[in-house]
């Protein structure tokens, strides 16, 4: 039969672990909730950009039109969307969550969340 001395420390350890798990879950929620919202908004905005401005309705078609005619309407629309919609969402995603959550929640090996990289600097419109 176990003595009460062994049961109490085990119960305390379980409570401490439970509290740590709850804390980490809250921190993950603080990070991934806003991050998921930003990434989802970015994907939806990019899909709308392609749907509205690609000559054939595909991402490849928009990319080809921008590459072939850098001053054309598709390229101007792309730069405008990137400047006013997509890049602000990317920046918000990069800073999502509570300050320091990326570095203080779990060991992430120094990895930051992936966001769409910014294109080369845009010329003035």
Does residue 2 lie in a domain region?
no
In a domain, 71, yes or no: yes
Could you read off the pLDDT of 10-33 as tens digits, one per residue? 788 888 888 888 888 888 877 788
Asked if residue 107 belongs to a domain, the reply is no
89 to each of 78, 109, 124, how far by Cα in Å?
15, 25, 20
Contacts of 48 (CB under 8 A, 6+ apart): none
Per the structure, the count of domains in the chain is 1
* pTM recorded for the entire structure: 0.59
Please check whether residue 35 is in contact with residue 60, taking contact to mean a CB–CB distance below 8 angstroms: no
Cβ burial of 38 (10 Å; 0-12, 13-18, 19+) is buried
For residue range 71-122, list pLDDT tens digits in order: 999 999 999 999 999 999 988 888 765 454 444 444 444 444 444 444 545 5
- Predicted confidence at residue 14, as pLDDT, reads 87
Please give the helix or strand (H or E) that residue 71 lies within, else none: none
- Residue 119 forms part of a structural domain: no
């Amino acid at each position: 039969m176990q003595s009460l001395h062994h049961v109490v420390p085990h119960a305390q350890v379980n409570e401490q672990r439970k509290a740590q798990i709850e804390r980490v879950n809250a921190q993950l929620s603080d990070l991934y909730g806003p991050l998921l919202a930003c990434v989802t908004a970015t994907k939806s905005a990019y899909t709308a950009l392609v749907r509205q401005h690609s000559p054939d309705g595909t991402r490849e078609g928009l990319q080809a039109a921008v590459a072939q005619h850098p001053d054309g309407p598709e390229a101007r629309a792309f730069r405008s969307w990137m400047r006013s919609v997509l890049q602000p969402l990317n920046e918000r995603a990069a800073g999502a969550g509570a300050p320091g959550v990326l570095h203080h929640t779990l060991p992430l090996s120094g990895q930051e969340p992936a966001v769409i990289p910014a294109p080369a600097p845009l010329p003035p419109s």
